[in-house]
Structure 1
């Protein structure tokens, strides 16, 4: 079941001012570079008020992104269990989200990210800080290889989302989830745990996944 992100009551004008400032800060400085204090100053409020309305920095970021779910709650459940089936579980989870009502927000965000550099920055920060970083923390991978491995996973899932839900390429667009799990799960599994020795022939890229 998809758990939506929570929302605390508060003054709508103050909340909107905080969210608008947060979106700009996260897009310009990134998730790690944007602090609660900086956002509060930009919105003209006390940092304690930001915490009152949104709780943690993660929750503020999710609210700023209008995220329909909290990856921090769902990803640990998906990654728990048999490591030999992580690829299949990731694909099944991914499809369950995008095929649910929450998927409409994802499609809108993806379309906007393609056409807007500003939205693309926010979308990238969401993927890196809320999804890929958690995968790296929870799945045992060699530290030097982890950035490339999780980036390859992201490329596969982003391509699937674009082809199935935005461009709607057939028969991919109408294929059953289990068909796609069987087809794509092994590729994700290889990206996470398989032999990628050819990739390491050149120096590893800069680490951008935290």
Structure 2
């Protein structure tokens, strides 16, 4: 008997990524994912074994893409502030592109969904450690004044990432004031806007004020 196409697992993951933000762990059914992927529902079990394993693979696939890019931009012997800036830009782009998925993971975790909780426990420390290590290196190289590490990290996330979550969420449910809507992409969500906020945030940290 021939082996099912190896493309089916990727088709299932792509369908799951499309459906998951709206349905979450509880609402996402094997049958619905299979229908969206155009394959037999049995293929979910064939490739992944169970719905929970499928959900873990779905979330992990997206995270690993971001973490691989983050690891690449943060490593090396280049200027630490340039590496920190590039790392922040990579994280911010990931949040911008996957905000609905990230919001659902947090909602599921808070609702007690074990898959989401386990995913966050396993992965959140990974990218946080990379960013915190860059901040520590910048301080050790006298590129940033000595300040509490978590205070600096919280400031950066608030300045760079929080607007993506807040304004992106407002835009998705159509509650951005009409007078501001035209400026949202250019002034909040674009790469240029991200780079401006990163530059301002790092200048603020460097000033030590």
TM-score by length of 2: 0.48
Between Structure 1 and Structure 2, the one with more helix by share is: 2
The structure with higher relative contact order (CA 8 Å, sep 6+) is 1
TM-score by length of 1: 0.48
